[in-house]
Amino acid sequence: MTESASEGTPQTRTFSFAGSFLKSVAALVIVLAGLRAVSDIVGPVFLALVITITLHPIRVWLERRGLRGWLASIIMLIAAYLVLIALAFSLLLSVSQLAALIPQYSDQLLDMVASVGKALSDLGMKPSQVDAITSSFDPGRLLDAVMALLSGGVSLLANLFFLVTLLLFFAFDTDSTRRSLAAVGRERFPGPVDALANFARGTRNYMGVSSSFGLIVAVVDGVVLYVLDVPGAFVWAVLAFVTNFIPNIGFVIGVIPPALIALLDGGTGLMITVIVLYSVINFVIQSMIQPRVVGDAVGLSATLTFLSLVFWTWLVGPVGALLAVPFSLLTKALLVEADPHRHWALALIAGKPQRAGPAISSTPSPSDG
């Protein structure tokens, strides 16, 4: 009797919680180490999955109009290939133009470095320290970095066959997978299946809104840079579109290259004009309008979104930065939404109280998958 009572004491429960926590952390470390070891596979697979999920409404629309399943799969596959080709072509074209643009400003870069070195000397810095700083700003190194980026784009194309094959299988397996998940959800595991349906809906909403607003931002930024006669306007417009998918810091990444080129080409006044216009455009569209359109589809707080950006970039690489939010949505679906006992954490993840009603729909929508 005494021994049984002692098992329920607060101290025993504390040790039990600590043991469970340590086991969970150890399992998480093992899983993360495995994911990082196969990040070259995880990134393309998840990218193909996100593209398939995003384009899935096309298949549903075609099926509702009586189109045969195999024909709907072919049309969906062609749409996915067009998206992939557009992304690869834009990346290679932009980086190639950037590589051709930088050597034209090597003299201006050297003059700027010399001016910085003189200013540091005037402030009392030792000549050896000034030389160490100025020697690190070598236009040749900058060009090498750009060519390395170009090589990275070529390596992306080298993995294109893997992505093409994945999209092929995903396009033709979507219908059977959707129906199988619906059957499994009705018969055995409604919670996990509904959570995956929520992930699919949230991913579609996020990718659709981010693509739409990214295109708007890219067009507006490109027109502004063209009017200001900043070299490489198309390159920076493409960069603005891509960085729109990077939460929180995408705008900062997108504004640095055109501002630097504006400084080298037109001086401080042009650089300030580019920064101010970029800030106004991106603040209004990305910080005021876009979050209202997205609404509660993502369900991630701003802090958690930023941390997810850092985490997934470290774990998966550049693809993790672009798909940080979908990665986090999948994690939330599997670890929180799939278990009704953990729905209390949704309010903490979203950073605001949840509305009344179930967190997850009881029946998956036919269009989810």
Residue 74 lies in a domain: yes
* pLDDT at 365 (0 to 100): 44
Q: Which residues contact 100 (CB under 8 A, 6 or more apart)?
A: none
Domain that holds residue 46: 32-104+139-188
How confident is residue 111, by pLDDT bands cut at 50, 70 and 90? confident
pLDDT score, position 223: 92
In a domain, 245, yes or no: no
Residue 57 lies in a domain: yes
| Residue 63 pLDDT exceeds 60 | yes
| 280: amino acid identity, one letter | V
Q: In the chain, where does DSSP find H-type helix?
A: 2-6, 10-37, 39-64, 69-101, 106-122, 127-136, 139-158, 160-187, 190-227, 233-243, 250-266, 268-282, 290-294, 302-316, 318-322, 324-332, 345-350
Angle formed by the axes of helices 69-101 and 39-64, to 10°? 130
Q: 341 in helix, strand or coil?
A: helix
| Structural domains of the chain, count | 1
Reported as a single tens digit per residue, the pLDDT across 16-46 is 666 676 777 777 788 878 888 877 788 888 8
In a domain, 42, yes or no: yes
Counted residue by residue, the chain has a size of: 369
209 versus 95: the higher-pLDDT residue is: 209
Would you say residue 175 lies in a domain?
yes
Within 8 A by CB and 6+ apart from 169, the residues are none
Q: Which amino acid is at 109?
A: L
What is the per-residue pLDDT across 307-321, written as a single tens digit (0 to 9) for each? 888 888 888 887 888
Flag whether 311 is in a domain.
Answer: no
| CB atoms inside a 10 Å sphere around CB 105 | 19
pLDDT tens-digit profile of 162-191? Answer: 778 888 888 877 777 777 776 766 667 677
The residue with greater pLDDT, 103 or 201, is: 201
Task: Flag whether the pTM goes above 0.85.
Answer: no
What does the pLDDT read at residue 355? Answer: 54
Question: In this structure, is residue 53 part of a structural domain?
Answer: yes
Residue 77 domain-assigned (yes or no): yes
